[in-house]
Structure 1
Amino acid sequence: MNGKKEKSHLERTLTLLTWLIILSLWFIIANIEDTSSIVLPSPQDVWRAFIDIVSNGYNQLSLWGHLGDSFERLIIAVLLALITAIPLGLLSGYFKKISAIIDSIVQFYRPIPPLAYYALLILWMGIDDGSKVTLLYLAAFAPIYIACVSAVNNLDQDYILSSRSLGASQKDVFLRIVLPACLPEIFTSLRTAMGFAYTTLVAAEMTASTSGIGWMVIDASRYLKSDVMFVGIIIMGLTGVLLDSGLKYLEGKFVFWKGKA
């Protein structure tokens, strides 16, 4: 136990040192006279831009309004992906006939870059949040679905055969054997899907949008507001880390047996 605590403390120290070095290099390079603030704004400039955005907002909308709009789109899309991809993925892995219907569709659209069909979504659904949520939903759906199918296919068949020999019904086998055994991969895929959807969020907010943290970065880039761009990028990075940490915490609560012999 003490060894694990020491290892954890060492890892946190290394992480802290890494970021201290990155921030120090940023401060030194940005404050050299030949370095343009447009190319690389200093930490002081970025901090002042952050304080200004917190105090006065950006484009007549507060920072929390931009974050709220982005996260509303993101959370709705990921929740929709969860409640559809998990059952469809598990059923596709468990029943080959369902897989024959769904799998080819997912495999067809999965490698297509989101921007390639975003214009079509706008034509079909308009420029409101419906097209943006759908784009994020499609980005999040595929990794969750594929992970669920893979988890079922890798499931030890002895568990299923043993439960059936003891009189378990098809429903019991699915809910008590298949679903719990697949939970570790489901949570891993959820973290991956959240990352894909968050990355796609910027693309979704690039077109016909006037709010969102991704739109703020894109809009600032048009006017060479590098300090605002850095603020948006840093906020997206930090919120992404917080989201992933929250999912890891939930994973530890719901899949407490993962990694234990």
Structure 2
Amino acid sequence: MRHLVSPPAYSGEAVTHTPEAARRPPSVRRTAIRRSAPPAWLISLATIALAFLAWIAATQLGLVKPLFLPRPGSVLKAFADALDGRIDGAPLLEHVAMSLLRVAAAFVLAALIGIPLGLATGLNPTLRAVLDPFIEFYRPLPPLAYLPLVIIWCGIGETSKILLIFLACFAPVALAARAGVAAASLDQINAARALGASRVQVVRHVILPAALPDILVGLRIGMGVGWTTLVAAEMVAASTGIGQMVLNASNFLRTDIVVMGILVIGALAGAFEFGMRRLERRLTPWKGKA
């Protein structure tokens, strides 16, 4: 005699066997992944250490000639000579100070002009149609292409150097500010207007905070482009500056000084980038939290 087993009664609720990790909220899963991975600073430090060890091994074993890649000791000696002013007749701090002054002046000008102009082009389609062709035309041009024109216009003094770096920084800052205007929610703008906010108040309290993350990214990009343009700017009759020191060293095949100058420029640019990231986290703590 067969025993018929009746199926279980349907309770109206689907029985699911979802893993515990999949039922967690996305933010909890991301936190768990971050905790399981090693810290980012530790990975970066290990990468730098491996690259330095590879540099030592390649130069000590003779895999690369000193003309193409000097030994770390030679670069360190060049750094000490530069500090004492035995290179180009001026101490390294003077070269660094002049380069910092040029980049900082151009960067401040790019921020003071580029951010308001970018916001204006994002808010006014007519102004955007007028200025966008000019910005998009010169933005992909390398600075060396219009360097002779800048020299003809402004001479060989500090104005031409700062103007060249300014033109390189301006386009990323203005375009980032313009793109940030689109981040403002139309509901927030309408709500502010319904509460009686003027156009200036809407821009200040709604559009500018929404565009701030994009503006800070544009400033970071502009700062990086400014440092890459420094060497081109200091080609113009400069007596001091890190770029000028590197160019002079390249004429005499002093690869140790060239590498030392590259490391100094990279360290300064990295310090600026680190500061901009800290500023970004401070001014926009909500970024990436959604």
Fold shared by both chains (TM-score > 0.5): yes
* CA drift at 1:112: 1.6
1:164-212 deviation per Cα after TM superposition (whole angstroms, max 9, x unaligned):
1222111110111011110000000100000011101111112322211
Gaps of 5+ in 2: 1-27
Larger RCO: 1 or 2 (CA < 8 Å, sep 6+): 1
1:83-124 deviation per Cα after TM superposition (whole angstroms, max 9, x unaligned):
001001001101122223322221221122211111011111
Gaps of 5+ in 1: none
Q: Output aligned runs, 1:127-166, within 5 Å.
A: 127-166=156-195
* CA drift at 1:3: 5.4
For residue 45 of structure 1, what is the aligned residue in structure 2? 74
Structure 1 residues 229 and 172: alpha-carbon distance in aligned structure 2, compared to 1, 3 A threshold: same
For residue 66 of structure 1, what is the aligned residue in structure 2? 95
Q: What is the total number of aligned residue pairs between the two structures? A: 261
Which residue of 253, 262, 266 corresponds with 1:233? 262
* CA drift at 1:225: 0.4
Is it true that 1:222 corresponds to 2:255 in the alignment? no
Stretches (4+) displaced over 6 A: none
Q: Output aligned runs, 1:102-251, within 5 Å.
A: 102-251=131-280
1:128-174 deviation per Cα after TM superposition (whole angstroms, max 9, x unaligned):
11001001111111001111111113432121112112221111101
Which residue of 37, 47, 53 corresponds with 1:24? 53
For residue 253 of structure 1, what is the aligned residue in structure 2? 282
Q: In the alignment, residue 58 of structure 2 is paired with which amino acid?
A: I
Q: In the alignment, residue 247 of structure 1 is paired with which amino acid?
A: M
Tell whether the 8 Å contact from 2:114 to 2:170 is kept in structure 1 after alignment. Answer: yes
Tell whether the 8 Å contact from 1:85 to 1:141 is kept in structure 2 after alignment. Answer: yes
| Range 69-78 or range 160-169, more displaced | 160-169
* CA drift at 1:20: 1.2
Q: In the alignment, residue 13 of structure 1 is paired with which amino acid?
A: L
**TM-score, normalising length from structure 1?**
0.94
Tell whether the 8 Å contact from 2:161 to 2:236 is kept in structure 1 after alignment. Answer: no
For residue 112 of structure 2, what is the aligned residue in structure 1? 83
* CA drift at 1:9: 5.0
Structure 1 residues 174 and 217: alpha-carbon distance in aligned structure 2, compared to 1, 3 A threshold: same
Tell whether the 8 Å contact from 1:80 to 1:137 is kept in structure 2 after alignment. Answer: yes
**TM-score, normalising length from structure 2?**
0.85
Root-mean-square deviation (CA, aligned residues, Å) is 1.8
2:62 and 2:133 map into 1 onto residues whose CA distance is 57
Over the matched positions of the two proteins, sequence identity in percent amounts to 37
1:165 and 1:5 map into 2 onto residues whose CA distance is 43
Structure 1 residues 98 and 57: alpha-carbon distance in aligned structure 2, compared to 1, 3 A threshold: farther
* CA drift at 1:8: 7.6
Instruction: Name the SS of the counterpart of 1:112 in structure 2.
Output: coil
Q: In the alignment, residue 98 of structure 2 is paired with which amino acid?
A: D
1:43 and 1:6 map into 2 onto residues whose CA distance is 36
